Structure 1
Amino acid sequence: MIASLLFCLAMPAQAEVQERLQEQYYDLQVAPGESLSRAINQASPIRQNGQIYHAYTRWQVQWNFWWREQRDGRCQIDLTRTRLNATITLPRLGGGDAQQRQRFEQYLGALREHEMGHYRIGQAAAAEIDAALLTTPEYPSCAELQQQANRRANAVLQRHVEHERRYDRETGHGRSQGAWLTE
C-alpha cells in the first residue's frame, strides 16, 4: 500500500495533445483558354486586407491543465490536454481543358504543401505549449500557478503566430515553393 502511494506521488505530470485537421474546398469553374489565375481570384472567398488568397490555413490551439494542491497551498500541474484544430481551405477545379487541369493539379500540390507548412507551425505550437505547461514550476498558490501557466502558453502561441508571418514573408506566400500561377 505505501509503495503504491509513493509510486503515485512520484509519477511525472501527464500530457495529452490531440490534433484535428480538416480540408474544405471552394469551387471554381474555368473555361478552356481562360486564365486559371483569374478564375481562382474570382472564385476565392479568402480575402484579407484588400488581398485575395487562393488558400488559407486556420489553426487554433486550446489547452487545459489540472493541478494538485498541497496542504500548505503550493500548487503544481499534474495533467494537461492540448488540442490543435485546423482547417485548410483550397480551391477545387471544375471544367477546363487537359492542360489547365494538369497545371491546376501541379499548382494545387504546391499550394497544399505551403498550407501544410502553416499546419506544421500549429503542430509545433501545440507541442511546445503542452511542454511549457508540463514544465511550469510549482507555485505558492493555485491562482498564481494558473496565471503563470497561461502566461507561458500565450507567449509560446504568440511566437508561433509570428513564425507564421515570417514563413509567409520568406516563401512569398508559397511562391518560392511553386504555389504561383504565371498566367
Structure 2
Amino acid sequence: MKRLRPLLLLGMSLNAQAQVEEQLQYQYYDVTIATGESLRQALSQASTIRQNGQVYHAYTRWDVTWNYWWQEARDGRCRLTLSRTRLSAQVTLPRLGGGDARQRQRFAQYLQALREHELGHYRIGQAAAADIDAALLATAESPSCSELQRHANQRANAVLQRHVERERDYDRDTGHGRSQGAWLAE
C-alpha cells in the first residue's frame, strides 16, 4: 500500500519549483541448501515474501509521498509554488550460503535476473514520483486554497493509481520475471 502524506504551507516564491528525492535500499534473507534439496526448494522455504498464498523469491516495495506549498492572492485565489516528491523503495533479495558449484552458479544467474526484474518495479516507482511531481506543478490556479489542495491531491492520487496498475501489468506481462530469466525449473 502506498502512503500519501501531503503537507501544505503558505508563503513561498512566485515561480513553481519541483524537487524529487529518491532512496533505494536492499534487504536480504539467507538461503541455505540442504543435501539433496533443489535451489528452488531452498529458496521457497527460506523466503520471507508471501502474498495471497504464494511464495516469491524477491520483492520491491516502493512508496511515494509528496508535499507542496502554495501562495494565496489577496482575492483568495491560490496557486501551487513548490512541490517535493519522495520515492523510497526497498528491494528484498535472497543471499545464498552453501550449495555445490553448479547450484552457486545457477543461483548467481537467477539472482541477476531477479535483481533486474525488481529494478523494473523500482523504475515504475521512479516514473510515478516524477509524474506526480509534474502533475502537482501543473495544477491550475484555484479560486481557493482548499480547492487547490483537493485538485492537487486528486491529480497525484490518479497518477499514483496508474502506476500501481502499471506495476501489476509489468508482473503479468513478465510472468513475475519469468520471461526475464527469473525462473527456476528445478
How far apart in 1 are the matches of 2:19 and 2:166? 24
Find the partner of 2:163 among 143, 154, 160.
Answer: 160
Distance in 2 (CA, whole Å) between partners of 1:35 and 1:147 is 54
Q: Which runs of 4 or more aligned residues in structure 1 lie more than 2 Å from their structure 2 counterparts after TM superposition?
A: 31-34
Give 5+ residue unaligned stretches, structure 1. Answer: 1-7
Q: CA deviation at 1:134?
A: 0.4
Which of 167, 172, 176 matches 1:169? 172
1:54 aligns with 2:57: yes
1:20 maps to 2:26: no
Cα deviation for residue 182 of structure 1 reads 1.1
Partner residue, 2:131: 128
What is the aligned partner in structure 1 of residue 3 from structure 2?
none
- Identify the range of structure 1 (85-94 vs 29-38) with the bigger mean alpha-carbon deviation: 29-38
Q: Which residue of the partner structure matches residue 94 of structure 2?
A: 91
Secondary structure class of the residue paired with 1:104: helix
Deviation, 1:14, is 0.6
Partner Cα separation in structure 2 for residue 164 and residue 152 of structure 1:
19
Q: CA RMSD in A?
A: 0.9
Q: 1:30 aligns with which of 10, 30, 33?
A: 33
Which residue number corresponds to residue 45 of structure 2?
42
**Deviation larger for 15-24 or 27-36:** 27-36
**1:34 shift after superposition:** 2.2
| % identical aligned pairs | 75
Select the structure of larger CA radius of gyration. 1
| 1:76 aligns to 2:54 (yes or no) | no
**Corresponding position of 1:5:** none
State how far apart, in whole Å, the 2-side matches of 1:31 and 1:60 are: 36
Corresponding position of 1:3: none
**From 96, 112, 116, the counterpart of 2:115:** 112
TM-score w.r.t. structure 1 length?
0.93
Mapped partners of 2:18, 2:35: distance in 1: 53
The number of residues matched between the two structures is 174
Q: What is the CA–CA distance in structure 1 between the aligned matches of 2:119 and 2:153, rounded to whole Å?
A: 27
Structure 1 counterpart SS, 2:176:
coil
Q: Secondary structure at the match of 2:127?
A: helix
Shift of 1:87: 0.1
Q: Which amino acid aligns with 1:153?
A: A
Q: Find out whether 1:182 has 2:185 as its counterpart.
A: yes
Residue 128 of structure 2 aligns with an amino acid whose one-letter code is A
Structure 1 distance, partners of 2:85, 2:169, is 24
Q: Give the whole-Å Cα distance in 2 for the aligned partners of 1:28 and 1:64.
A: 40
Determine the structure 1 residue equivalent to 2:66. 63
Amino acid corresponding to residue 89 of structure 2 in structure 1: A
Provide the rounded CA distance (Å) in 2 between the counterparts of 1:110 and 1:50.
23
Residue 182 of structure 2 aligns to a residue whose secondary structure is: coil
